[in-house]
Every structure is written in C-alpha cells, then in structure tokens.
C-alpha cells in the first residue's frame, strides 16, 4: 500500500461510502436507512478529521511513552542541560534503547505521586532522600538488590559509593535507590566582603567562638547613616541550621527515628545562638532589613556568609562572584554537618526493567558521574568521581565538600518528614521573629499534639 493510505484517508473514504449509501437510500425513500447512514457518515468523517489533527500529538505524548524508556527529573535549566548530556552519552552507549526525558519543573513529588497512583509513572525517577520512607510503603518502588548483581552490570554499593548515600536509600536489607549525587552543607563566603571588611578569611577547623568573632567584625554600617549595610550571616531555616545543631551536640530524633530528642541544654544553646545572631549580636539581618533576596544580598556583598551545599556553586560561578567554602565551626558537640542525597529509583510497574537498570547503572557509573562533577551541582555519589569534582572549579576549595563527608550526619528522616518539617518550621519562625524564646519554642515542640502522634515525646515541665 502507498504511504498516502493513512488512517485518516481510510476513514474519510469510509465516510464517502456511507454518504453514497445515504443518497441511494434516500432516492428509494428508505428514510430510516438514509438517516442512519448519514449520521454514521458524519461520525466517521469527524473521527478521520480528529486522527488527521491529533495523531502526531498522541504519538508524541502517548505512543512514544509506551515505546521509550521514560526518565523523570527536576532542577534548574543548568541541571536540565546536565541531564541532556547524560542522556546523550547513554544513547551513544545503548543506541537501541529509545529514551524519553520527562523534565518536571514544578511540584515534582506531587506529580510523581499522582503518576504512581495511576500506575503511569516513569520507568526511572530521580528521588530525594527526605520523601523516600513515605513512598516506599506504597510498594511502587522496585527493590534493586537483585539488579545490583546483574552480570556485566553489577554495582558494588558498599565499596564504591559514599556510605551515607547508600544508607539513605536502604531500608533494612533492601536497596530502593542507587545514589547519583548529593552533598553536605558548609559555609559559603563572599571573599570580596571579607576583603572590604579587612577580615581574614575563615581558617580550616574553626570554632564557634571564632565564627562569632568573625561575624562581629564583618557586620558594619559602611556609609555612616546609622543603618547596617553589611551583615555577616544569612539566617537559614531549620534544615540548614542542622550543622550548627549537631555542633552543639543536639539532634531531633534518636537513631531509631521514633523518639523525639530535641530537648535539654544542648538544644536550647543551639536555638539560642540561632536567635541571638539576629537580635543579640545583630550580625544577621532581621526580616525587614534586606530589600533583596538572600542570593542577591550575598552576590552584592551585603551578606558575607550563608549555609548551603555544592548546589549553590553553579549560579555563583555564572554570576562571577568571588567566593569560597569554609567548614561549619565546631562546638561543644564537635564537628557535624547535614548531608543529603538523591537517587535513581525504578517504578515497580515498569515493563522495561532491563532497560531501566541499564540507565540507572550508566547514570551512576564513572562516565556519567564525571559529567555531574563538571557541572558542580552536587558531589557525585560514586567515590571515583571525586577528583573530577574537586578539579572542575580550581578557584574554590570544593574539596571541603568531600572532606566533610567524613563527619556528615544523616538528617532526621522518617515517613513523617513533611509533618515534622512543617511543625518545626512554624515554631522556629516565631522564635526567629523574636515572638517567643528558644526555651518556649522547644517546650511547644515537645508538647505538639501532631508530633506526639508520630514520635515518643519527652516529659517536659
């Protein structure tokens, strides 16, 4: 048959035949047959027109979806470019596997959850460590232990990947995700702000007292109008304050993640410093004291330091900001920082599990991990790619993100993470607005009825 005989042409030909039948029936006064043939003609003609108008669209969004290996991810445009490079390298290795990237730019977890509920999820999904416990209880994620032993596509997690990355996606004996990248939180500082203030840059392994003294020297009214123009530190939310929490020897949950431990003198000291940086020492801006966002304030030198991970580096590099990396200061609890990881997970309902594993294996192997390293978005989860990460940006001490993995600690992640984060955030916001004391904040959290349904709470006065 010729290429011109397409589905819509066949349908239109059928419509023409029905129209002819309607005309003949009408001539012989078979009105009922004529009416039925006429309506059938109209329906078939409309169907043919719809096929002509929308067949390509359907094929792109649905036909291709069925034929191709679907991979979903989120991120900035630069991260999207990174995924394009990884996908291109994968196609070069496996040209026989059609690949469809699904870039979800907003409300990623919510959309993935909807796709999982409808059993229409991508075959491979980028996933964070925080929501993982809540999602794996649905049995929608494929356990990967057996896949890790696939001949020729083996993965030695405990040998080749950072320990915290592996443990973040392991529940009991089961592996639910292969870590791809992540990072720990350190201090990012503006070198020009330090130079303009005449303050030495942070030394390695500094203490909380040295940090506070540096903050006081950095903070200044540079134009003499009675208002502070340069602040030392941008106050973070509770998740980014975790490194300081650990430095004071405090944590939110016990190792079993069932008992609430945010109580006592260590927790109060950590929360007191958090508030004091803004109000007692005034080295961090209050909410009304910055008219620009935190990123702009840092780039322009109005804020000298903030807490973040390697994901903060790409936009600073692109903006040409002179910055570097400093350790979190140590405190009574020693050194500590928060570490977070992302992994690739496999949809349990995938019909292309062999292809999916080939992609996961490739994306977490050295060629793809070196692409990740070059973009500086995160620390590659594969240890062998650490040198590529360190040398990708020789202007900064990126090695400190690698070194900090030795003392980095897990976040207090449970299946109740979202609830916990919401309740902590609402209470600490009140404290950071000076509307309640650290002691009151800790007491209110320990008596929170929503948290009490999920955790064993301490007895507090």
- Residue 435 CB: number of other CB atoms within 10 A? 10
- In this model, does residue 404 exceed pLDDT 90? yes
Distances (CA, A) of 96 to 62, 67, 350, 355, 360: 20, 12, 18, 10, 16
Mean pLDDT on 373-397: 96
* 409 neighbors 317 (Cβ within 8 angstroms): no
- Report d(CA 157, CA 154) in Å as an integer: 9
Q: Are 325 and 354 in a shared domain? A: no
- pTM for this model (two decimals): 0.82
Residue 319 lies in a domain: yes
- Section 48-53 average pLDDT: 72
Span 3-7, mean pLDDT? Answer: 60
Taking each helix axis as running N to C, give the angle between helix 238-247 and helix 265-276, from 0 to 180 degrees, rounded to the nearest 10: 120
Whether residues 233 and 303 fall in one domain: yes
Question: Which residues lie across from 170 on neighbouring strands?
Answer: 175
> Quick check: is 154 in a domain?
yes
Verify that 226 and 330 share a domain, yes or no.
yes
Same domain, 35 and 136: no
Say how far apart CA 305 and CA 325 lie, in whole Å: 10
- Domain containing 81 equals 68-184+340-409
Residue 233 belongs to some domain of the structure? yes
Phi, psi values for residue 395, rounded to 5°: -75, -20
Read off the pLDDT of each residue in 192-207 and give the average, rounded to a whole number: 95
State percent of the chain over pLDDT 70.
94
Confidence of residue 101 (pLDDT cuts 50, 70, 90): very high
Residue 418 lies in a domain: no
Asked if residue 291 has pLDDT above 90, the reply is no
For position 386, what pLDDT does the model report?
Answer: 97
* pLDDT mean across residues, the chain: 91
Same domain, 90 and 173: yes
Query: Using CA atoms, how far apart are residues 220 and 141, in angstroms rounded to an integer?
Result: 52
pLDDT at 124 over 90: yes
Q: What are phi and psi of 262, to 5 degrees?
A: -80, 80
Position 107 scores a pLDDT of 92
Residue 272 burial class via C-beta count within 10 angstroms: exposed 0-12, middle 13-18, buried 19 and up? middle
pLDDT classification of 294: cutoffs 50, 70, 90: low
Q: Is 392 exposed, middle or buried, given 0-12, 13-18 or 19+ CB atoms closer than 10 A?
A: middle
Task: Give me the count of residues in the chain.
Answer: 461
Q: Is residue 417 part of a domain?
A: no
217 domain residue, yes or no: yes
State whether 44 and 134 are in the same domain: no
Q: Do 47 and 160 sit in the same domain of this protein?
A: no
Provide the CB-side half-sphere exposure for 403 (13 A, CA): 13
Task: Give the CATH number for residue 379.
Answer: 3.40.190.10
Residues 288 and 243 in one domain: yes
Task: Read off the pLDDT of residues 234-248 as tens digits, 9 standing for 90 and up.
Answer: 999 999 999 999 999
Whether residue 351 is contained in a domain is answered as yes
CB 321 within 8 A of CB 301: no
pLDDT-derived band at 59, boundaries 50, 70, 90? very low
Q: What is the mean pLDDT of residues 27-39?
A: 75
Interacting residues of 144 by C-beta distance below 8 A, sequence separation 6+: 175, 176, 177, 178, 346, 357, 360
Q: How many domains does the chain have?
A: 3
Q: Indicate whether 370 and 302 sit together in one domain.
A: no
User: Do residues 176 and 193 share a domain?
Assistant: no
Mean pLDDT is lowest, of 31-35, 69-73, 278-282, 412-416, for 31-35
Q: Count CA within 13 A, CB hemisphere, residue 112.
A: 31
125 pairs with which residues across the strands? 72, 345
- Strand bridging mode 178-184 / 337-346: antiparallel
Give yes or no: residues 330 and 377 share one domain: no
Give 442's Cβ-side CA count (13 Å radius): 25
Angle, CA of 428, 434 and 439, to the nearest 5°: 60
Q: Does residue 1 sit within a domain?
A: no
Residues 207 and 303 in one domain: yes
Contact 259, 456 (CB under 8 A): yes
Distance between CA atoms of 248 and 238, rounded to whole angstroms? 14
């Amino acid at each position: 048959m010729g290429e011109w005989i397409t589905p819509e042409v066949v349908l239109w030909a059928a419509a023409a035949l029905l129209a002819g039948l309607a005309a003949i029936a009408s001539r012989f006064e078979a009105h009922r047959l004529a009416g039925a043939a006429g309506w059938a003609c109209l329906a078939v003609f409309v169907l043919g027109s719809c096929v002509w108008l929308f067949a390509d669209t359907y094929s792109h969004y649905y036909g291709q979806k069925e034929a191709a290996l679907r991979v979903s991810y989120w991120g900035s445009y630069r991260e999207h470019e990174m995924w394009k490079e990884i996908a291109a390298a994968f196609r070069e290795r496996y040209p026989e596997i059609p690949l469809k990237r699904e870039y979800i730019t907003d409300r990623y977890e919510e959309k993935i959850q909807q796709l999982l509920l409808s059993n229409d999820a991508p075959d491979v999904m980028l996933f964070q460590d925080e929501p993982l416990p809540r999602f794996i209880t649905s049995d929608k994620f494929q356990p990967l232990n057996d896949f890790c032993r696939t001949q020729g596509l083996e993965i030695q997690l405990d040998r080749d990947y950072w320990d915290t990355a592996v443990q973040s996606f392991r529940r009991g004996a089961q592996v639910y995700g292969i870590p791809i990248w992540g990072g720990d939180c350190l201090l990012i500082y503006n070198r020009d702000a330090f130079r303009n203030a005449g303050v030495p840059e942070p030394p390695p392994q500094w203490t909380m007292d040295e940090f506070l003294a540096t903050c006081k020297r950095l903070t200044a009214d540079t134009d003499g109008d009675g208002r502070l123009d340069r602040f030392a530190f941008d106050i973070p939310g509770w998740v980014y304050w975790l490194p300081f929490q650990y430095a004071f020897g405090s944590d939110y949950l016990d190792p079993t993640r069932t008992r609430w431990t945010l109580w006592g003198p260590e927790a109060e000291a950590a929360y007191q410093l958090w508030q004091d940086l803004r109000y007692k020492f005034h080295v961090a801006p209050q909410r009304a004291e910055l008219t620009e966002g935190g990123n702009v304030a840092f780039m322009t030198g109005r804020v000298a330091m903030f807490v973040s991970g390697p994901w903060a580096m790409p936009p600073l590099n692109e903006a040409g900001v002179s910055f570097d990396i400093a350790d979190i200061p140590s405190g009574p609890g020693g050194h500590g920082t928060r570490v977070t990881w992302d992994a690739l997970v496999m949809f349990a309902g995938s019909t292309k599990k062999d292809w999916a594993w080939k992609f996961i294996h490739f994306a977490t192997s050295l060629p793809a991990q070196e692409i990740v390293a070059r973009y500086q978005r995160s620390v590659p989860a594969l240890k062998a790619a650490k040198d590529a990460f360190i040398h990708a940006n020789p202007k900064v001490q990126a090695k400190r993100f690698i070194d900090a993995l030795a003392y980095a600690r897990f976040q207090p992640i449970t299946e109740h993470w979202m609830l916990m984060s919401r309740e902590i955030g609402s209470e600490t916001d009140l404290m950071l607005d000076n509307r309640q004391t650290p002691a009151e904040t800790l007491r209110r959290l320990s008596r929170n009825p929503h948290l009490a349904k999920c955790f064993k709470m301490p007895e507090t006065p």
